[in-house]
Amino acid sequence: MPPPKIRADRPHMPEYGIAAANAGRGLLPWSWAEKLLISAMKYWLVTTSADGPHAMPVWCVWSQGALWLSTGGKSRKARNLKADARCVVAPEVRDATLVLHGRARRVPPARIPRAVFTAYARKYPPWKLDPNLGPVFAVKPSVVLGWKEDFEAEGFTKTATRWKLN
């Protein structure tokens, strides 16, 4: 499967004072976003149900162009993702914001790449990713928003970037 095409531009955010949509200077590279996706330890997963939005912290690893996470099979997160795969994931990081919009798909244990197990064990010792304890989901991003929180030099207004992946 070929890697997704990634296009960077400015997000449409009227009245926030960010650089114009066609102002390419200051756009952040995708490598900046990937570094945050790889290095964060905690991520906020937002799902929806008939009761409304639901946000919970989760552990994730970035591998194979997706964020991988697991949860209890009867958890609200799992039930919500089964009913509606659309979700938002935001890594908790300092001095930056990154918000990933995508779809989660439940991955059968035999189809989880070895690299995901390795990355999880390396990132969260002594824990191991165990699909026997609950479903594993891969969240493929469609749109990612990011910016630096440096209010002096390269803050939000100059670095706000939207990546579209397809």
Which CATH number do you get for residue 131? Answer: 2.30.110.10
> Per the domain annotation, does 98 fall within a domain?
yes
Q: Are strands 6-9 and 52-58 parallel, antiparallel or unpaired?
A: unpaired
> Per the domain annotation, does 129 fall within a domain?
yes
- Residue 119: its H or E element: helix 114-123
Average pLDDT over residues 39-57: 97
pLDDT score of 1 more than 60: no
> Per the domain annotation, does 31 fall within a domain?
yes
- Report how far residue 41's alpha carbon sits from residue 43's, in angstroms, rounded to the nearest whole number: 7
Opening angle at CA 41, ends 99 and 132, nearest 5? 100
- Report how far residue 132's alpha carbon sits from residue 62's, in angstroms, rounded to the nearest whole number: 21
Model's pTM, two decimal places? 0.93
> Per the domain annotation, does 1 fall within a domain?
no
Q: How many domains does the chain have?
A: 1
Rg (CA), the chain: 17
pLDDT score of 156 more than 90: no
- Give the domain range for residue 114: 6-165
Band (pLDDT 50/70/90 cuts) for residue 32 is: very high
Q: Which of 155, 165, 163, 166 is nearest to 29 (CA)?
A: 163
> Per the domain annotation, does 149 fall within a domain?
yes
> Per the domain annotation, does 35 fall within a domain?
yes
